């Protein structure tokens, strides 16, 4: 079933010049890039996007990181795009992410783990609405 998902290259990925690398991996998989914008995330937007995490102990660090520089927000589509993108991204902690995944190949620390991807149909719809209206 074709799905839409929300993908974001986080500030570390943008600062390291890895936007093209991330896009290329999704494109080569056969997914379709439908929308893209570069923006800065302020605290209010961070709290909205990461609503499920605002009370977690790591949230202050996550907030500081995600507001530290521009991000590239995207809508991707394709067959089972939500789970396919999560597979291509790898586990949340890049140290545990499999080699061959974006986080496994390019990341090290859990906070600056390069990419965000929606974890289900509801979060995809919610996040696409937040970033693309």
Catalytic residues: 116
Under the criterion CB under 6 A, does residue 119 sit at the interface with ligand DAT? yes
Under the criterion CB under 6 A, does residue 67 sit at the interface with ligand DAT? no
Q: Residue 38 Cβ, how far from ligand DAT at the closest point, in Å?
A: 19
Closest C-alpha to 78, from 4, 8, 23: 4
Considering only 110, 126, 130, 132, the residue that binds ligand DAT (CB under 6 A) is 110
Point out the residue whose Cβ comes nearest to Mg ion. Answer: 119
What residues form DSSP beta bridges with 6?
75
Under the criterion CB under 6 A, does residue 24 sit at the interface with ligand DAT? no
Q: Residue 119 Cβ, how far from Mg ion at the closest point, in Å?
A: 5
Closest C-alpha to 7, from 77, 76, 71: 76
End-to-end CA distance of the chain: 23
Considering only 4, 25, 49, 116, the residue that binds ligand DAT (CB under 6 A) is 116
Q: Residue 109 Cβ, how far from ligand DAT at the closest point, in Å?
A: 8
Neighbours of 37 (CB within 10 A): 11
Distances (CA, A) of 28 to 21, 24, 32, 33, 37: 10, 6, 10, 11, 20
Q: Which residues in the 92-121 window bind Mg ion by CB under 5 A?
A: 119
């Amino acid at each position: 079933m074709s799905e839409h998902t929300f993908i974001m290259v986080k500030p570390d990925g943008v600062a390291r010049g890895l936007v093209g690398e991330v896009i290329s991996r999704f494109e080569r998989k056969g997914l379709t890039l439908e929308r893209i914008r570069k923006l800065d995330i302020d605290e209010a937007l961070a709290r909205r996007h990461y609503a499920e995490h605002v009370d977690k102990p790591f949230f202050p660090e996550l907030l500081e990181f995600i507001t530290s520089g521009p991000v590239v927000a995207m809508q991707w589509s394709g067959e089972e795009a939500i789970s396919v993108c999560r597979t291509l991204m790898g586990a949340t902690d890049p140290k545990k992410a499999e080699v061959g995944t974006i986080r496994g190949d390019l990341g090290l620390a859990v906070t600056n783990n390069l990419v965000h991807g929606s974890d289900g149909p509801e979060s995809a719809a919610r996040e696409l609405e937040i970033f693309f209206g």
